């Protein structure tokens, strides 16, 4: 096997990190809009509203809202076949529970999709990428509440209908599995645990609602346009047992269970033994409506989109739940944010996912967050990024050519520098295109091509054959 002729090469972004214009043209607040900027090792503060005098990075992003033409023209120069973006949910439904959508918000995406199609670039759209309307969190308790399913499906119906001839590839919830992995699943599910609340119950209940919502969206989407391809989106944390001690391999299995929890339901259509075992491990319960089993069964996804940045190690540290992760892998280097650099881990991830689900895969996030220096002459020699991407694309190629894994496309993360989700920083850059903006939000927002720009252009032009640099 080789990369298919129509392999989808491109780049990926998310509205909350890219668009800005957080209150323009009737947009409501999303959960990202009340998150302050921070830095490596310092968690981002989450507010209950926008307080003057604070820096909230999403408010301006890097202003795609006003600069989409310039940016898309640059993507076209690189030869992008596709572009991953998200629709900012509260731009369409400012509170989230309205009957009527915000026409001005819809018009913005009309313009963006038209601009992409002008260059033959296929939009790949995430429906919910950390942009749950804040009002739904405050009024309804977010995904704890079953009502969110209807609000989400109504939003999906609106955008599916409006863009049925502009968008073919959709994905429902970005990194849905992080709902179970995070201390506070704020980004994924709009949830901060309340005092006295049973966290396991909340996570299982919210996850159930999100997975039912996703399945309903799949069914509805196929109804509106049978050509739609609707995927789930997972963060894939490639994990190695710390040693060949069998207990460490068991620790690896335990570490992966929360991730397969979502994959199994969304791809296979039911709570598998991995899921029920994981529910028991967490010690939580949740309620289901009678119709849910059938919806989950029928609304399985068409493909699996996933993000891959690094690998981890799991070590067995006592009975069952006691897995210790976070160890450094002596065989791998790390980036400035301490993430292991592991291209072979991508090939292994592709194999593990394909072996388990036999569904087409789409690598929708991968890349190196690094500090880029602009030289006096204005050039940016991001050699480290090129080396990272070349090695990862080579691993992807091996998965396709040697392991016969079915892959639809590859969109590297942050193809233009955008706000980091983890820290709100700008200096953690992923792009082929530099944006003049710093961690305090200052800068001209001017765009500049980095050295990787021409390199990626060559990769795309050769359909992944020429990775040389
Ligand atoms: C993923 C998110 C993205 C993106 C990426 C990089 O988890 O889906 O939104 O931001 O991680 O993370 P960061 O921005 O913290 O470097």
Does domain 8-245+255-311+337-461 sit in CATH 3.20.20.80?
yes
If you search the block for the tokens 């369409």, which residue do you land on? 92
**Tens-place pLDDT, residues 362-384:** 999 999 999 999 999 999 999 99
Q: What is the pTM of this model?
A: 0.98
Residue having the nearest C-alpha atom to atom 11 of ligand 1: 421
* Candidates 365, 376, 401, 446; catalytic one: 365
Max CA distance (Å), the chain: 65
Closest CA to 191 of 209, 177, 178, 203: 203
Compute the distance between CA of residue 175 and CA of residue 182 in angstroms, rounded to an integer: 11
Compute the distance between CA of residue 311 and CA of residue 43 in angstroms, rounded to an integer: 22
* Domain coordinates in residue numbering, the chain: 8-245+255-311+337-461
Expressed in angstroms and rounded, the spacing between residue 371 Cα and the centre of ligand 1 is: 15
Q: What percent of the chain has pLDDT over 90?
A: 96
How high does pLDDT run on average in the chain? 97
**Tens-place pLDDT, residues 21-31:** 999 999 999 99
Residue 1 in this model has a pLDDT that exceeds 80: no
Residue 73 in this model has a pLDDT that exceeds 80: yes
Expressed in angstroms and rounded, the spacing between residue 243 Cα and the centre of ligand 1 is: 29
Q: Which atom of ligand 1 is nearest to the CA of 175?
A: 8
**Tens-place pLDDT, residues 343-358:** 999 999 999 999 999 9
Provide the pLDDT for residue 323: 87
Compute the distance between CA of residue 104 and CA of residue 153 in angstroms, rounded to an integer: 20
If you search the block for the tokens 């399913």, which residue do you land on? 149
Expressed in angstroms and rounded, the spacing between residue 246 Cα and the centre of ligand 1 is: 33
322: confidence class by pLDDT, cuts 50, 70, 90: confident
Residue 465 in this model has a pLDDT that exceeds 80: yes
DSSP letter at 248 equals: H
Expressed in angstroms and rounded, the spacing between residue 413 Cα and the centre of ligand 1 is: 8
For residues 358, 363, 364, 369, the Cα torsion angle rounded to the nearest 10 degrees is 150
175 is catalytic: yes
Q: Which atom of ligand 1 is nearest to the CA of 430?
A: 16
| Strands 340-341 and 333-334, sheet pairing | antiparallel
Q: What distance, in Å, lies between the first and last C-alpha atoms of the chain? A: 24
19 is catalytic: no
- Return all residues near 173 (Cβ < 8 A) that are at least 6 apart: 127, 128, 188, 210, 214, 232, 233
Q: What percent of the chain has pLDDT over 70?
A: 100
Provide the pLDDT for residue 320: 64
Closest CA to 396 of 306, 461, 261, 271: 306
321: confidence class by pLDDT, cuts 50, 70, 90: low
Compute the distance between CA of residue 192 and CA of residue 415 in angstroms, rounded to an integer: 30
Report the pocket of ligand 1 as residue ranges, CB < 6 Å: 14, 174-175, 235, 307, 365, 369, 413, 420-422, 428
Helix boundaries (H) for 119-245: 134-140, 147-162, 178-181, 186-189, 199-224
Q: Which atom of ligand 1 is nearest to the CA of 178?
A: 7
Compute the distance between CA of residue 82 and CA of residue 409 in angstroms, rounded to an integer: 9
Closest CA to 130 of 213, 57, 51, 187: 187
> For 71-84, what is the mean pLDDT?
98
Residue having the nearest C-alpha atom to atom 16 of ligand 1: 420
* Candidates 60, 122, 175, 178; catalytic one: 175
Residue having the nearest C-alpha atom to atom 15 of ligand 1: 422
31 burial level (CB within 10 Å; 0-12, 13-18, 19+): buried
**Tens-place pLDDT, residues 215-247:** 999 999 999 999 999 999 999 999 999 999 999
Residue having the nearest C-alpha atom to atom 5 of ligand 1: 421
> For 92-106, what is the mean pLDDT?
98
**Tens-place pLDDT, residues 248-304:** 999 999 999 999 999 999 999 999 999 999 999 999 999 999 999 999 999 999 999
Expressed in angstroms and rounded, the spacing between residue 64 Cα and the centre of ligand 1 is: 17
Pocket test for ligand 1, best of 413, 419, 420 (most atoms within 8 A of CB): 413
**Tens-place pLDDT, residues 145-160:** 999 999 999 999 999 9
Residue 109 in this model has a pLDDT that exceeds 70: yes
Compute the distance between CA of residue 356 and CA of residue 417 in angstroms, rounded to an integer: 34
Provide the pLDDT for residue 450: 98
Pocket test for ligand 1, best of 188, 421, 430 (most atoms within 8 A of CB): 421
Expressed in angstroms and rounded, the spacing between residue 420 Cα and the centre of ligand 1 is: 6
Provide the pLDDT for residue 318: 84
């Amino acid at each position: 096997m080789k990369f298919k002729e129509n392999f989808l090469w491109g780049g990926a972004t998310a509205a909350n990190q890219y668009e800005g214009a957080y209150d323009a043209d009737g947009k409501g607040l999303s959960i990202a809009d009340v998150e302050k900027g921070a830095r490596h090792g310092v968690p981002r503060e989450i507010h209950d509203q926008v307080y003057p005098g604070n820096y909230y990075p999403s408010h301006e992003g890097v202003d795609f809202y006003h600069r989409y033409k310039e940016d898309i023209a640059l993507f076209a120069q690189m030869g992008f076949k596709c572009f991953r973006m998200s629709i900012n949910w509260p731009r369409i439904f400012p509170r989230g529970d309205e009957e009527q959508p915000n026409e001005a918000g819809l018009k913005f995406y009309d313009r963006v999709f038209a601009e992409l199609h002008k260059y033959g670039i296929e939009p790949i759209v995430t429906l919910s990428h950390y942009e749950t309307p804040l009002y739904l969190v405050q009024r309804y308790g977010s995904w704890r509440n079953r009502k969110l399913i209807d609000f989400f499906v109504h939003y999906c119906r609106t955008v599916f209908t409006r863009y049925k001839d502009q968008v073919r590839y959709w994905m429902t919830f970005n990194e849905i599995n992080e709902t179970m992995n995070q201390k506070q699943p704020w980004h994924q599910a709009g949830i901060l645990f309340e005092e006295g609340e049973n966290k396991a119950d909340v996570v299982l209940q919210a996850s159930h609602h999100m997975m039912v919502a996703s399945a309903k969206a799949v069914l509805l989407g196929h109804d509106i346009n049978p050509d739609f391809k609707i995927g789930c989106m997972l963060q894939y944390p490639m994990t190695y047992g710390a040693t060949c001690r069998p207990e460490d391999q068991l620790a690896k299995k335990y570490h992966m269970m929360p991730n397969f929890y979502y994959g199994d339901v969304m791809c296979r259509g039911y709570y598998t033994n991995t899921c029920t075992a994981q529910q028991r491990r967490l010690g939580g319960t949740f309620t289901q409506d009678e119709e849910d089993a059938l919806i989950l069964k029928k609304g399985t996804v068409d493909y699996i989109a996933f993000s891959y940045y690094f690998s981890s190690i799991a070590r067995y540290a006592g009975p069952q739940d006691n897995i210790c992760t976070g160890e450094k892998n002596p065989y791998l280097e790390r980036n400035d944010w301490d993430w292991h650099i592991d291209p072979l881990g991508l090939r292994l991830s592709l194999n593990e996912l394909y072996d388990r689900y036999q569904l087409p895969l789409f690598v929708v996030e991968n890349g190196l967050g690094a500090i880029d220096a602009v030289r006096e002459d204005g050039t940016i020699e991001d050699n480290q990024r090129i080396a990272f991407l070349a090695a990862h694309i080579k691993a992807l190629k091996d998965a396709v050519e040697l392991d016969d894994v079915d892959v639809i496309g590859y969109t590297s993360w942050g193809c233009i520098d955008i706000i980091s989700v983890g820290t709100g920083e700008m200096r953690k850059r992923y792009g082929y295109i530099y944006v003049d903006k710093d961690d305090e939000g200052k800068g001209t927002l001017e765009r500049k091509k980095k050295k990787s720009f021409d390199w990626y252009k060559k990769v795309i032009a050769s359909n992944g054959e020429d990775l040389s640099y």
